[in-house]
Structure 1
Amino acid sequence: MGPFLLSSAGLLSKKFLKPIWSTIESAQCKENINLTANVVRELTTMKMLSYDAKALCIGQRSVSAVLAMKREGISDVHAVYRPPFFPLRNRKLVTELDYEDTSFDFVFSRDLETVPVPASLVLEIERILKPGGIGAMLVSTSGSDSNSLVRSVSPVSSLLKNSSVVHVASVGEPVLVAFKRNAEDGFRFDQSPQFPADCPSVVNNKPYIDFLEPLLEEERADFERRIHYLPEFIDVVSSRKRLVYIDIGAAGHLKMKTRSWFFPSYPIDKRAFNAYFVHHNTSVLTSYVKSPGVTFIYHPGLAATKAITDPEDLEPFVEDESFDFLAWFKETVSFADFVVLKMNSSDVELKFLADLIETGTICSVDELFLRCTTGYNDCTGILKSLRSSGIFVHQWWEE
């Protein structure tokens, strides 16, 4: 008998390939439905998931996962079949989900081990989870003993920034790792913050707080011209030797050809400042490296602060646990005589502002600009609280 040949007329023909593939696909779909159902039953039993939760399934098997959740009684469930992946100069990829911050009570994915950048997927899940919300991921395991379960947690727990692992269990072959987003990982003022009696910025600027421009509920075209800058009231140039300007998340207005990197109407020439631009995108920052007097600070922790839509603007998330941004900030402002700080109202940056207040480092900031982004609704409330406590702060609108 001669050799058995596979050809277009044999097993690889469309006639045979389609039913074979349909059988495999059907088996995989059934397996995923069963796994997802096991996850739902496990978490509802543990009272970590309620049937009225707003849920999202992420990944290539999200359609069958949605079907399983609906069968188990969760009706408000959505799916992202394949989050967009953007290539970055043949290095890494970044994942972005097209959902607002704190949108879901529950997020489920099996794609941690298949996405190009696992950290980006975890960060995005944390971003869209509501405070107290549950994220659930299925990861592979090399055994069935307790040690293998512990090892399965690490790929998830090592990437979490604003959450904690709350449950681990075997659900068939893979391991379920459930984490809960911290209930207080945003920045909120319940009352006006209190500062030390000798807080320099509060003591020095208190006489001028009443001259600050009124706060606006919505943006006006002439808002910048209405601002009363601190140098209008004090002699900064002749009485201060080292002037420092720090812009956190600076890349947005750098690209605008009609504006310089500092506020055009500010009463001090930008060249008098030692300027620091802080951002997670090194390619954007380094394109402005020739700007005189500007130092660029790479802060990878800012990567989750903004939804990125232009692939050319993307930069891979690179973990750098050795860089302590708060320590850098303290050291930088400690050598300054006059400090201007501009920052956004994203969760990450507002948490940093909370750290500045808690540590008293805010007392070294003379003038603060808080950029009110559309994703945060209580920007005006924060500004009022800061002003009532003696911080010379301006409302800065999103470009």
Structure 2
Amino acid sequence: MEPTAAKHSFLSNILVRLFSFAVLIFAARFAYLITVRGGSCYSTDFCFLSNNLYPNPKLRADLSYDGGDPFSGKNWRRSVDYYATIFQDLIAEGSLSLNSRALCIDTPSGEDVLALKEVGVVDSVGIFKKPSPPLVVQGNGRRQPFSGESFDFEFSGSGILEQSRRPSEFAAEICRTLRPGGFLVVHTAARDAYSFHSFLELFKCCELIRSREINGVDSSSWILEILLKKEKNPKFPALENSTLNGNAVNKCPVHGYKRELVKNAETLIMDEPLKPWITLKRNVKNIKYLTSMIDLSFKNRYVYVDVGARSYGSSIGSWFKKQFPKQNRTFEVYAVEADKTFHEEYRTKKGVTLLPYAAWVRNETLFFEITRDPSQKIMMRGKGMGRISSVQTSSSHMGDMDKIQGFDFANWLKSAVGYTDFVVMKMDVEGTEFHLIPRLIQSGAICLIDELFLECHYNRWQRCCPGQRSPKYQKTYSECLDLFTSLRNSGVLVHQWW
């Protein structure tokens, strides 16, 4: 009996050892999944319970592009491999290390998080409005659920940043949670010079390391990869010579990309038109809008200011709302109009803020002339303002004047918008442009205007009276042309309006 008992004991020991070995292998595989693969199982190499490891069935269905298991699907695997290659390049150049604590921002599926773990950056996590643990926790780019200076590396791919409604808040959160000396990598489809500089303006906490064009995930499109490093002592760029709040003459920095945009604009009408009411109106069709040449993705707000707006249908409703190319952006609209005739109409217009004053170089009471029809010799009220004159004490002028309140338009503009905003302005102020434009330049407020549509008033030929010039304005067409030319030479994209 002893040999039989010994044999039974020997077999039992073998079974116990085999079972222990199997448990050890399973435990090792489980630890690998949790620490390296982020809890997901998608590989064909030694994968247990691949259909049950991921805790979010809905996400698994969403990611299953080819109808099969999402973690073995070609699109899913291709995305992970794509990001893994990107991160390996960053590791090779020293921008990312295996010891980095990494964050992927607004990643719904977590392919980039998984790629980080695969290349060895184990301490990685993603955020999205709908959590998908363990790869992605709840959060978003504008409200990161982490304390300050938590990460050594942050990544924003798939054009996430340009889709943000408030990119400045998005950037501020990155600056808050990224450690000094940490790196930020952003992938964007916007590749023009204007949007690139708009992007850099958002990240004042960082310095640019490099940018390069690379293939996107599908290999059929090109994207821009931007690498930034958070500075220990962030620099805040200012205007040349002075800040906007200074009293000295300010000069806008005219970058090469701005000169190129101005160069690509429609040509100015050099010869005075004999029928300006026809020529200038037709010229509107030739205008090359800035939004047809650039990408607006990285602007924080979109603002349209109509100076001398008159009625809502005069230009806001008839032109800006219907014809101006907005790239599907929602613009804040300001109507600057002192004539009380039009004020009531704006009370019913949603999305339009009325400033019931006259744009001027300082805050003071003004008088404007009531427009007269030269052929009928009668006063025309409500047809728009005439020349603005400074305060007068002589009562002899009061019969043809209306009193209005003027305000320092340049100061208001500086308080209302900033460099990260996209600002479009139309100005039709009955000759006051020769006062307002120099004030905008002197104060530096002109630097805040991205695109200007300016009607310049001069002693043009009259439609009613052939061979006669309008006595209303003293400036000549040549002086108007000088004004347009000087603005363009200063890097301001200005168009001749009618």
Higher relative contact order (CA 8 A, sep 6+): 1
Normalization by structure 2: what TM-score? 0.36
Normalization by structure 1: what TM-score? 0.44
